[in-house]
Amino acid sequence: MTARRDGKGGCPICGRPNTDERGKKLEHFPFCSARCKLVDLGKWLDGEYFVEDAGEEPPRTEGEGSDTDR
Ligand SMILES: [Zn+2]
């Protein structure tokens, strides 16, 4: 299945048509319904689509086991 975020091939969430029989975009395009729109939003909030920022260093835990020499 080729679900795309641009709406081609139907709803990105469930794959159902996101246009009516005349090819007109539905109200919640590219999604088929408000429900799928919310599902997509939930995915974003859950971090499923989160892209890691390579320039950001991970948080360190200083003073914990690493500085026993001094
Ligand atoms: Zn859908």
Q: Which pLDDT tens digit goes with each residue over 19-59?
A: 999 999 999 999 999 999 999 988 878 776 555 666 666 67
How far does the centroid of ligand 1 lie from the alpha carbon of residue 53, in Å?
A: 30
How far does the centroid of ligand 1 lie from the alpha carbon of residue 33, in Å?
A: 6
Per-residue tokens: 24: 């007109």
CA 68 and chain centroid, separation:
43
CA 17 to CA 19: how far, in whole Å?
Answer: 6
> Which residues line ion ligand 1, judged by CB < 5 Å?
11, 13-14, 16, 32, 36
Q: Which pLDDT tens digit goes with each residue over 3-20?
A: 455 657 899 999 999 999
| Residues near 39 by beta carbon (within 8 Å), at least 6 away in sequence | 13
**Architecture, CATH, for domain 1-50:** 2-Layer Sandwich (3.30)
Look up the pTM and report it. Answer: 0.54
How far does the centroid of ligand 1 lie from the alpha carbon of residue 63, in Å?
A: 50
CA 6 to CA 3: how far, in whole Å?
Answer: 9
